[in-house]
Amino acid sequence: MKIKKVFFSFLLLFVSPASIASDCNSMADKRLAVISNCYGSNLSYEEQSACDDDLSNTPPTLEVQLLSDCIQKNMKCLERWVQLVINYQLVNLYDIGIDLLSSGNFPDSFWIQNSLASFYILRGKDRDYAAAEVILATLIDDNNRLALGNLAELKILKQEYEDALKIFEYLRLNQIEFEKDHDNLLRLAQLYHFGSGSFKQWDKAEDLYLRALPLSSSGHAEYLLADILLKSDRVEAGLIMLDKAIDKGSVNAAEMLASFFWEGIHVEKNTRKAFKYFQVASKLGSVSALYNQGIIYNQLKEYRKMKIAFYAAAVFGDENAIYILEKNGEIVNNHICDVRALFSRSDNFLFYDHLTLQELD
């Protein structure tokens, strides 16, 4: 299930450049120091708890940006960067992830190879699936459940459903372990959710999603279950499930609700609510939601906020924002520090703009 982005044709009129933040260098450097310290060694329990609390309040787009300064030399930085890019599906960074993990600059390990296979599966270009399958074939010798799960996911994407089912049947030989395995429960559910022919069995998929809900920490199970509910004409239950997914941090669910309210799908068209969900999605790591905020600010003739939204989207890799800014003579890299500083602030208007919400009423 893919989120439909909102695109418009419009004449972009820039106002004179304005400073996004006055002391961005010191603020960004301070934030980087905090994050780097959190990936140091020998942290006490109290220090690690403080770090966990601090990082939980850091927008993933900002954290990924800051971690990019240390991923070449700090393995913990790299591991966290990969986790964020994969979990939040930061599509524009998949190429970088593949280049990093295949560079040979890090000691080879199961984690490196399995993560590289995950990036190939997620990117899904040209020969990516073949590359992922070659890697995973070397990792499943020890019957590793992570590698087997990735291989099953790959088989589903390649529509090799019989092969995927055989892997799941093997994993389910240990049923107790399987019922505790959130990711593989979801993968098996997706076989019945997105499969074709005899493999398309939404009742089985729904049952598996429901069994995965108590294990869900990312909201992905809720998001996928919502798709079945909506497609089964249980719209109210589906919308409630999307909100539950957002509560657990699902950026896909926030993007989907924003799209629904913007286009009037399943709900009455409501620009105010669409804008609110674009802001939620932006905080959860969606760069396309930042771009869409810029579109709305342009329509409202709030050109300064429009520019900042486009700067942020471009810095974090949105191709549409990059294109617009470069066509208007802007150099995106000149604004990296300003965007980092803005995203370090608790009052970042791109996450909640009370004044603009009032204008949309």
What dihedral do alpha carbons 184, 188, 189, 193 form, nearest 10°?
A: 140
Does 143 have pLDDT greater than 80?
Answer: no
Instruction: For 14-59, write each residue's pLDDT tens digit.
Output: 443 344 444 555 555 666 666 667 766 667 777 777 777 766 677 8
Burial label, 54 (beta-carbon count in 10 A; 0-12, 13-18, 19+): middle
Helices 182-194, 145-157: axis angle to 10 degrees equals 10
156-164 contacts at long range (C-beta below 8 A, 24 or more positions apart): 156/187, 156/190, 156/191, 156/194, 156/195, 157/121, 157/124, 157/129, 158/129, 159/195, 159/196, 161/191, 161/195, 161/196, 161/197, 161/199, 164/191
Instruction: For 196-235, write each residue's pLDDT tens digit.
Output: 999 999 999 999 999 999 999 999 999 999 999 999 999 9
Average pLDDT over residues 246-274: 96
DSSP designation for 334: G
**Highest-pLDDT range among 69-83, 141-155, 311-325:** 311-325
Contact between 356 and 335 (Cβ < 8 Å): no
Cβ within 8 Å of residue 240, ≥6 positions away: none
Residue of 25, 32, 45 whose CA lies nearest to 71 = 32
In this prediction, residue 320 carries a pLDDT of: 94
Dist. CA 276–CA 354, nearest whole Å: 10
Does 144 have pLDDT greater than 90?
Answer: no
What dihedral do alpha carbons 179, 181, 183, 189 form, nearest 10°?
A: -10
Burial label, 236 (beta-carbon count in 10 A; 0-12, 13-18, 19+): exposed
In this prediction, residue 22 carries a pLDDT of: 46
In this prediction, residue 273 carries a pLDDT of: 95
Place of tokens 């992570």: 146
Span between the terminal Cα atoms of the chain, in Å: 31
DSSP designation for 4: P
**Sign (positive or negative) of CA dihedral 116, 117, 120, 121:** negative
Average pLDDT over residues 82-109: 91
Dist. CA 133–CA 119, nearest whole Å: 12
Burial label, 268 (beta-carbon count in 10 A; 0-12, 13-18, 19+): exposed
Q: On the CB side of 17, how many CA atoms lie within 13 Å of its CA?
A: 11
Write out the H or E segment, with its range, that includes residue 9.
none
In this prediction, residue 14 carries a pLDDT of: 41
- What is this structure's pTM? 0.85
Contact between 341 and 28 (Cβ < 8 Å): yes
Does 6 have pLDDT greater than 70?
Answer: no
Mean pLDDT of the chain: 87
